[in-house]
Amino acid sequence: MQPLPLRVADADDWSWQLRAAVTTVGELERHLALTDEERAGALRAEAAGLPISITPYYLSLCDPREPSCPIRRQCVPHLDESARVPGDLDDPLGEVAHEVAPELVQRYPDRALLLVTDRCAVYCRFCTRSRMVGDGGGARSDEHLSRAFEHLASHPEIRDVIVSGGDPLAMATARLARLVERLRAIPHVETIRLATRVPVTLPQRITDELLAALRPFHPLWVMTHFNHPKELSPLAVRALTRLADAGFPVMNQTVLLRGINDEPATLEALFRGLVRARTRPYYLLQADPVVGTSHLRTPVSRGIELMGALQGRLSGIALPKLIVDTPGGMGKVPVGPDYVVARRPGETDLRTHRGVVVTYRDPPA
């Protein structure tokens, strides 16, 4: 077992990072001292289900000797993935049921989700789409997406398209640019969002070439996915800075994960670090009840407690909304501590972050 040589871990070539991604137990074993549970989990992942893929860069953030490392727990399989608990679902957000065309999911009148590939740079062990990612199809062909584009073009109420997968930034630049160009050509599509974990797992992907290819199609928003302050490496911060400099508003969605980021100090460091990198903490997501992820999930009450601890400690721009994406795909619900302690006609009692109760009087009717 040897740590990766720094020169290799820092290799600034994103396609090399993808080619050199660790995908087998044997390779993992060369870089990390695996526990028996990790080894058994990795053998299971090799055989079936959500595959293994970890870029040399993301692997270099893992502690080779410490199995509780918050990076390692996100990407290295564990035998606990074989557990099935009540409430577990293969497709927690009912995306298959809400497909309006192949690869197009619509759960809200004004927004749609377009799944353009099944590939990611790193397969996260808590993936919401473990039912389909890494299945081997790769980037979806223009022909395969033609019905999705027809649906988008013929529904003028859709103003916001979220391009996801898999990871759209794992696609070749020319192909991604063509896809974004096609979306931009639909007059009523105002906002295009690229949902990507590449700034976290493969920051080398944010090249000048990529930015130049996408820039003509603004407004393009980037929705990224940092879960732990350790992920805000100099390379990741450089990627976020490049995106901001190229005019992309960058939003972050953190998934709340047990033993990884479910402490107030961890979330505080993460959210402050993101703001310093000009990235807005947008959502803190309750983990979806995906089959095989119960060991990584927290009770909803923990998220509410954490929000209570952070309210008042962090500025409004650093504090995301806590969201439960309801099982079955009925939509996202914001949750949090109750700050309204009593309501009377014309008066509301509010509890402040200092614990003081203050009455607000409504204007005369």
Residues in contact with ligand PLP by the rule CB under 6 A: 93, 105, 107-108, 111, 113, 162, 332
As given in the structure block, the two tokens for residue 172 are: 């070749």
Nearer to ligand PLP, 280 or 332 (CB): 332
Burial 30-46 (b: 16+ CB within 10 A, else e): ebbebeebbbbbbebbb
**Annotated catalytic residue 135:** no
CA–CA distance, 116 with 193 (Å, rounded to integer) = 13
Check 332, 339, 349, 351 and give the catalytic one. 332
Check 120, 123, 140, 193 and give the catalytic one. 120
Max Cα-Cα span within the chain: 73
- Measured from the CB of residue 282, what is the shortest distance to ligand PLP in angstroms? 7
Closest CA to 221 of 180, 251, 241: 251
**Annotated catalytic residue 58:** no
- Measured from the CB of residue 111, what is the shortest distance to ligand PLP in angstroms? 4
**Annotated catalytic residue 230:** no
Check 62, 69, 75, 124 and give the catalytic one. 124
Nearer to ligand PLP, 108 or 360 (CB): 108
Closest CA to 268 of 228, 208, 214: 228
**Annotated catalytic residue 325:** yes
**Annotated catalytic residue 75:** no
Nearer to ligand PLP, 113 or 236 (CB): 113
As given in the structure block, the two tokens for residue 178 are: 């063509």
Nearer to ligand PLP, 105 or 171 (CB): 105
CA–CA distance, 139 with 165 (Å, rounded to integer) = 9
As given in the structure block, the two tokens for residue 245 are: 């400099």
Burial of 203 (0-12, 13-18, 19+ CB in 10 A): buried
254 phi/psi in degrees, rounded to 5: -95, 135
Helix locations, 292-346, DSSP H: 300-310
Check 10, 63, 80, 111 and give the catalytic one. 111
**Annotated catalytic residue 120:** yes
Helices (H) and strands (E) in the chain, counts: 13, 13
- Measured from the CB of residue 358, what is the shortest distance to ligand PLP in angstroms? 30
- Measured from the CB of residue 318, what is the shortest distance to ligand PLP in angstroms? 18
**Annotated catalytic residue 127:** yes
Nearer to ligand PLP, 18 or 115 (CB): 115
- Measured from the CB of residue 16, what is the shortest distance to ligand PLP in angstroms? 33
Q: Supply the residues annotated as catalytic.
A: 107-108, 111, 120, 124, 127, 129, 288, 325, 332
